[in-house]
Structure 1
Amino acid sequence: MTRTRGDLAVPQLEPEVFDDAIVAVALTSGAEHRLVYYNDAFRDLFGPRELGARAADAFTEEKAARYVQMLDEVFHDRRGRQVTGPRTTEGIFPGAPGRRHFIYSCSPVVSRFGPGVLTVCVDTTAQVDAVERAEQLSQDRQEALHRYEALMGAVTQTVWLMKPDGAISELVGDFEDFTGEEWRPVIDEEWLSYVHPHDRGHLLREWQQAAEGDPSMFVCTFRLRIPSGEYRHVQSRAVPIVRDGVIVEWIGATADIEDQWRNRLRERLLARVATVTAAADVPQAFGAVAAAVVPELTDACAVFLLPTPGVISEGETVTAVRVATTARPGLPELPPLRNESYAVGPVARHVIDSRRPKLLVFPAGDPPAGILPEVSLEWLRAARATSLTLVPIVIDSAVVAFACAAGCADSPPPGSGDLALLGEVLHEVREPLRQALELQRTRHTALTLQRALLTPTPQVPGAELAAHYQPASKDAEIGGDWYDALLLPDGSVTLTIGDIAGHDLDAATSMSQLRSMLRVIAYDQSRPHTPAESLAQLDRVVDGLDIAPLVTAVHMSLTPSPGGGWHAAWSNAGHPPPLLLPAVGAPRFLEGSGPDLPLCVAPAESRVTCHHDLAPGDTLLLYTDGLIEVPGTDLADGMADLAEAAAAAALRGLSLADLCALLLAGVLERRDDAAVIGFRPVPRAPEVSEARIARLL
């Protein structure tokens, strides 16, 4: 059949011709690559796939992504492609026959389904398995086969034959050009001087392990010194030649693998850098950076944070704080981080101004004076440091920190490749570090705002008043909890405690706005409001201005009563109920008819004012849910624990301030911040008349 496009007849493929083919065939149609056909051989190789589905949905295996991409390429440029290197399917798809090997090609075609791509696969499992079995043949074959397999499996840069006593009987390659030294006829200690000091022990252990007992293949990667004094990674592979159960010689090859090694190292380091994004704060982020480069690129690394990123004026003193340190095992213990600033020296200043790394090489244990704070210099002396590399960390065109990488003990100075890779790693962490710095600035701003709002409680005649706030942790100091106490001109007091959803700058800003608005409503004595009316008015304003998503609060008015008591009137907007510790009797929660809805839920709903009279010596506590929410326990259990702890503390005769602090400190495993404000009527001194005073005088 044909289809006509203008005057040009295009042959139309009939996929059914492949029904009995011994090769696997599949046909996709359209730009979405709908699977419209596959034969039995294809099903036997890959398992059943859904006809009509997009290729991306029909072939969901991770390795199939490249195949789907090839379908796109062939469909759009109408050019066929072949994959001649063996590919492997793990056979995890339902109905698949198991692990199979294959090669395939993709060709543009036109069928009755329209333009598409024809995929032809050849099952090469038998051939690949045969190759794998051949590679796993034991090494007790004849000498010729041993040599052939060893030479084929090794990278043939330098090929050598060695006697069991270490004497080299044959050498083919450019070892002398590579090292700049003449090849010694015997592998001895002087030969080992070409090897990087940190690799000598490993090289000897690997050789002894291969030579002792049953002989086995020797494979070892180590660094050799080149004429410039730098080191490059090489890999030696050797197999023993055994005759009558005795090793008569070793045949091996040594290849320069520096580029491959560095590429793999780059991938590993950049993968480690990904952990910076999970850092909770700036020191932890820089700590992840330092840990990413030790020990592969350097023996030790410290990061010094500059306090104010940006342009530094000439002559201005630059200070820095050591925020992270990491060292490889076997070196002296690192000095603790103390958050102390120090004035950077001229070398570090030059690195900051020029934004270029600086390498310093010096005798072991004798770093230049003034280059780092004295505590760091003492450690470098103890570690017998031989080199120091200072690298600026630039974010948003500003130097925010600099890293110091140290080579210690007998480590040679880093080579140009090491310095380039170190710079690349530090370059890659710019974005996660920028986010960490921005989060720190935002957290600091919000924390400053929050602490400015949590002001000391006023002095109230006839009552004791105290409040306390505690964040969940040092890493999450920003919270939505707030409290407020306001002494009004008529001698009454308003207390408010609340919790805004969120733990960020928006939550702190919303808290500021709510606190201010409620203060205005409460202070306006021209139109007295009950606590319920005050919260209702606040709810309407907050909802109208879209200030906060959800707020719980208790707003209370306290007025003095004759005899030293106080009358409490409050309204509860979805908040935990106040806790009363009577001077006589058991503690209880003042739940009234139950809490009303939180703010920002239903502003039109009416609210209820509850009442209770406080006697002298009674203690009333308002608190946030962080004081009663403990992971793995019911909220009612938390309330019961709070009542029990508060009653026990009250029996100790603590001041109200100490009581609040004790309750906050007693909650373990808190995940949320917590606040508490307490009110306690105190007996007033009896009034003395003027006549009484006159008589006393």
Structure 2
Amino acid sequence: MKGDGTTGGPTGPDPAVRGPDRAAGTEPGGPRGDAGVGPGTGPAPDTSGSGVGGPPVNPRMFDGAVAAVAVLAGAEGRLLYTNSAFTRLFGPRPIGRPAREAFPDSDAHRFLAVVDSVRVTGRARQVVGERRTDTGAPGQARHFVYSCSPVTTDHGPGILVLAMDTTAETLTLQRYEALVSAVSQMVWVLGTDGSMHEIVPGWEQLTGEPWHPRADADWYRQIHPRDREKLSAAWQRAAGGDRPRVFEATFRVRAADGSYRHLTTRSVPVLRDGSLVEWVSATADVEDAWGTQLRERLLGQVAAVSGVSLHEAFAEVVKVVVPELTDACLIMLLSHEEWPLPDHAEVTARRIASATRPGLPAPPALRGQRVAVPPAVRAVLDRREPVTFRLEPGAPMPSGLIPTVSERWLHASGATSLTLIPLIVGDLVLGYAATSSNGDTPIPGPAETELLREVLHHAQHPIRKVVELQQARRTALGLQRAHLTRPPSVRGGTLAARYQPASPSGEIGGDWYDAFTHPDGTLVLGIGDVAGHDLTAATAMGQMRSMLRALAYAGGPGARPDAVLARLDHVSAGLGTAPLATALHVVLRHRPDGTWLMTWSSAGHPPPLVVPDRGDAAYLPGAADPPLCVASDLLRTTHTHVLGPGDTLLLYTDGLIETPSAPIDEGQRRLAAEATLCRRQALPDLLRILQGLSDHRDDTALLAFRVDEES
């Protein structure tokens, strides 16, 4: 209310009871509402020490008081006294006037009602007030607390009014509440007895459930089942012990629409005299930020997937999505790569990778189980959109979606849903992923399914590399096998050959072998390795093998092996066929005594191994000349050896004896020892056994010739 601008004069009660300012202040009106509302409202005992009937109060004792003081007396409540603090707070007031004249403000009725109540009841009243005054900033609201107590004055029964300005404290509280509300956080207080009081609300709006007054099972039911134990353990760590610590956690809460949202909370212990009195907590919805971080992290992980086969690549993919996005994931690879297929075309899908979250039964072993793709799966692959099937307890599962062993696992693990997600690389439909929710895990909603689909779709980039590599590998293998012809039949001896591409890598090498006979029965053998592990190496291998065969045949049975390799080196260097290659060229002539005269020349290739009919296997002496395509003008050498009845000649490539963890001479010793032990094996079996010595990191080619024992 506004003051009337009147100053106190000599009229009215004895000036001796007035303060030095000789003026009264504005009415410290009660709060906007009923005058008795606020702390301490209602009848209260007189604690002033100057109650009615006691000695008269001397107003001058309040001249220097910090609190604003006014004294009223008589039936009309005439204003007897105001101190300077009262004048500063409420403005000047006319001394000696009845209360209703001294406080003519429009909202003075609140204050006057309190005064009348104290006069009638004889009991003190305390009121929290808010008003606007001309003091301070224009229109500024002032907050204060005042009390009216019955006292005795020289003019009879009176009322002592004391007021304190609480504007600064009130504004601080209002600013705090506004700040908390502005950052969209829920603020609540947890008592040491487990009681919970919500200060800044938001729980019911988020969850659709009323605020729980206690931290009990009802509150925990809103927490995601996967987060309850972790949240409880984190709270025990913070609240346990001699000194509580700040508690921070991120967890999921079930929202009103049934989905789960991530919240982050920070609870600070409030200590008083070293003892815990309560916790003040601020909780914020961080679902959008959490989802963005999870998406970026998972997309980064799936983009880093490597693997040299689809089995290995998808084995890494399922580990990315489990358990972050789903409880279990199974990858089914189609037997056809073209889609869609005609309705009558039969197509199957094979299990190639799977993963399950901890706590679930172990998944069935991957043994290539297949399932005929039913119409329901065909529809999913045709639409190229995920589909979720709800699995009711005890109800039969849609048949044929996954192999029978996986269906049994879903039943055993308490699956509640099965989601099929097409796996697409470009325009190629590779298969589908089957994911499940199990136990008390909520069935995924549209947002969770879309994120899962996006992560799996993002895997197409590394998967595409594997697919392209496998396609190139199949092409290279086809080209290579086309050149690795079946060895011819030889009178007086037996031939066998074996080729094995590297199994743990998606690369294909340039290993090759060759065998043919001249019209006079002379046998020509060749083996080699072109540097490189790709389609280019396979192509160069085919060219060099073909050129060596042509040069050897054109040279006739009497052509020296070193001369043939020299011509091949010259032609290859001139045509730029390969950057580097090794080769071993062997010529075998059957002699009347049943032996075979062997002549050979080596261009950087491992030496031939001879397994005699009796005795230990040994490598033929003679240093190898440099590889091909290095120095085409270099003179090469020819070596000779005689093979007797029962002797076996073995030609091989370095993939059989080289490993990253051991020197090559150790590999050669293992090969010779194993060949000695298996000398009596048929040639195909011997080559199969010897090929098992390889670590399969590189291609291996083997060619063996055994002299008949009776020839």
Q: Tell me: CA distance 1:154–1:455, structure 2 relative to 1, closer, same or farther (3 Å).
A: farther
1:326 maps to 2:355:
yes
1:301 to 322, 329, 332: 329
Residue of structure 2 equivalent to 1:422:
452
Shift in alpha-carbon separation, 1:577–1:169, aligned structure 2, 3 A: closer
| Pair 1:675-2:701 in alignment | yes
- In structure 2, what is the equivalent of residue 507 of structure 1? 537
Q: How far apart are the structure 1 equivalents of 2:353 and 2:549?
A: 45
Confirm whether residue 162 of structure 1 aligns to residue 190 of structure 2: yes
Q: Which residue of 1 aligns with 2:282?
A: 253
Cα shift at 1:532: 2.3
* Contact map agreement 1:574 1:598 (CA 8 A) in 2: yes
Alignment of 1:444-593 (within 5 A): 444-475=474-505, 478-524=508-554, 529-583=559-613, 587-592=617-622
> Does the aligned pair in 2 maintain the 1:318–1:349 contact within 8 Å?
no
Instruction: Name the count of aligned residue pairs.
Output: 535
Separation in structure 2 between the aligned mates of residue 174 and residue 632 of structure 1, nearest angstrom: 63
CA 1:527–1:475: 2 relative to 1, 3 Å = closer
| Correspondence 1:59-70 to 2 at 5 A | none
Provide the C-alpha distance between the structure 1 equivalents of 2:338 and 2:660, rounded to a whole number of angstroms.
Answer: 44
Residue equivalent to 1:228:
257
User: Would the aligned equivalents of 1:364 and 1:409 in 2 still touch at CA under 8 Å?
Assistant: no
Residue 661 of structure 1 is aligned with which of 679, 688, 692?
A: 688
Q: Residue 452 of structure 1: CA displacement?
A: 4.0
Shift of 1:404: 2.0
CA distance in 2, matches of 1:399, 1:617: 55
Report the Cα offset of residue 172 of structure 1: 1.9
1:438: which partner in 2?
468
Structure 2: distance between partners of 1:560 and 1:623:
22
Number of the residue aligned with 2:401: 371
Equivalent in 664, 676, 688 of residue 635 of structure 1: 664
**Is the CA contact (8 Å cut-off) linking 1:468 and 1:675 kept in structure 2?**
yes
Which of the numbers 274, 281, 298 marks the counterpart of 2:309?
281
Q: 1:189 to 1:307 in 2, by over 3 A?
A: same
What is the CA deviation profile of residues 324-360 of structure 1, one whole-angstrom value per residue up to 9, with x for unaligned ones? 2111111111112223432223332222111112222
1:538 aligns to what SS in structure 2?
Answer: helix
The aligned residue for residue 434 of structure 2 is 404
- Secondary structure of the corresponding residue to residue 471 of structure 2: helix
Deviation at 1:265, TM superposition (A): 0.9
Equivalent in 343, 350, 359 of residue 388 of structure 2 = 359
Contact kept? 1:164, 1:247, Cα under 8 Å: yes
Give yes or no for contact 1:154–1:252 (8 Å, CA) kept in 2. no
For residues 582 and 158 of structure 1, what CA distance do their matches in structure 2 show?
88
List per-residue Cα deviations over 1:563-604 (Å, max 9, x = no partner).
Answer: 101111112111122223344566543333x22222222333
Question: Aligned pair in 2 of structure 1 residues 583, 384: CA closer, same or farther (>3 Å)?
Answer: closer
1:293–1:476 distance in 2 versus 1, CA, 3 Å: closer
Residues 275 and 614 of structure 1, relative CA distance in 2, 3 Å threshold: same
Deviations 1:204-231 (A, max 9, x none): 2222222221311222211111121111
**C-alpha distance in 2 between matches for 1:203 and 1:615:** 81
C-alpha separation between the residues in 2 aligned to 1:451 and 1:523? 21
Quote the offset at 1:299 in angstroms: 0.9
Q: 2:567 is paired with a residue of what secondary structure?
A: helix
Give, in whole Å, the separation in 2 of the partners of 1:433 and 1:451: 26
Alignment of structure 1 residues 165-184 onto 2, 5 Å: 165-184=193-212
Q: 1:334 to 1:598 in 2, by over 3 A?
A: same
Higher helix share: 1
Change (3 A) 1:459 1:219: same
How far 1:440 moved relative to its partner? 1.3
Return the letter of the residue paired with 1:427: H
Q: Structure 2 unaligned runs (5+)?
A: 1-171
User: Structure 2 matches for 1:95-244, cutoff 5 A?
Assistant: 157-213=185-241, 214-244=243-273
Give yes or no for contact 1:156–1:253 (8 Å, CA) kept in 2.
no
1:374 CA drift (Å): 1.9
Counterpart position of 1:69? none
Looking at structure 2, the residues matched to 398 and 481 of structure 1 have their Cα atoms a distance apart, in angstroms, of: 32
CA distance in 2, matches of 1:170, 1:464: 92
Report the residue type matching 1:607 in the other structure. R
- Give the Cα–Cα distance (whole angstroms) in 1 for the partners of residues 424 and 659 of structure 2: 42
Secondary structure at 1:386 match in 2: strand
Contact 2:469 2:507 in 1 (8 A): no
SS at match of 1:564: coil
Offset at 1:257?
A: 0.7
The equivalent position to 2:364 in structure 1, one of 324, 327, 335, is 335
Q: Any idea what SS the aligned residue of 2:415 has?
A: coil
Q: Is the 8 A contact 1:386 1:408 kept in 2?
A: yes
After TM superposition, the score normalised by the length of structure 1 is 0.71
| Number of the residue aligned with 1:107 | none
Residue type of the partner of 2:249?
C
Query: How many angstroms apart in 2 are the aligned matches of 1:585 and 1:303?
Result: 54
Taking the aligned partners of 1:365 and 1:547, their CA distance within structure 2 comes to: 67
Instruction: Give per-residue Cα distances to partners, 1:418-450, cap 9 Å, x unaligned.
Output: 223222212322221111111112122222333
Query: Does the 8 Å CA contact 1:320/1:341 hold for their aligned counterparts?
Result: yes
Q: Greater CA deviation, 214-223 or 621-630?
A: 621-630
The range that moved more, 471-480 or 280-289, is 471-480
Residue aligned with 1:283, SS: helix
SS at match of 1:680: strand
Contact (CA 8 Å) 2:331, 2:431: kept in 1 or not? Answer: yes
Q: Deviations over 1:38-95 (max 9, x none)?
A: xxxxxxxxxxxxxxxxxxxxxxxxxxxxxxxxxxxxxxxxxxxxxxxxxxxxxxxxxx
Q: Do the aligned partners of 2:654 and 2:700 also contact (CA within 8 Å) in 1?
A: yes
- Give the distance between the partners of 1:502 and 1:586, measured in 2 at CA: 34
Q: Does the CA contact (< 8 Å) of 2:309 and 2:506 recur in 1?
A: no
Give the % identical residues. 48
Do the aligned partners of 2:687 and 2:702 also contact (CA within 8 Å) in 1?
Answer: yes
Deviations 1:127-152 (A, max 9, x none): xxxxxxxxxxxxxxxxx99x989x98
Q: 1:634/1:237 Cα in 2 relative to 1: closer, same or farther (>3 Å)?
A: closer
CA distance in 2, matches of 1:540, 1:363: 75
Cα 1:158–1:438 change in 2 (3 A) is: same
- TM-score normalised over the length of structure 2: 0.70
Moved more, 484-493 or 306-315: 306-315
The amino acid that maps onto 1:664 is Q
1:475 alignment partner, SS class: coil
1:387 alignment counterpart: 417
Deviation string 1:458-480 (CA, Å, 9 cap, x unpaired) is 33221132333344434357332
Name the stretch that deviates more: 393-402 or 188-197: 393-402
Q: Deviation per CA, 1:625-646, whole angstroms, max 9, x where unpaired?
A: 2233243544344434444443
For residue 482 of structure 1, report the CA deviation from its aligned partner: 1.7
Deviations along 1:15-34, whole A, 9 cap, x unmatched?
Answer: xxxxxxxxxxxxxxxxxxxx
Q: Residues 633-682 of structure 1, C-alpha deviation per residue, up to 9 Å, x if partnerless?
A: 443444344444434444xx333444433333245x56433333222322
In structure 2, the CA distance between the partners of 1:417 and 1:603, relative to structure 1 (3 Å rule), is same
Distance 1:536 1:664, change over 3 A: same
Alignment partners' CA distance in 2, 1:432 and 1:180: 43
Which ranges in structure 1 are unaligned for 5 or more consecutive residues?
1-143, 686-697
Q: Decide which structure has the larger Cα Rg and report it.
A: 2
Distance 1:314 1:588, change over 3 A: closer
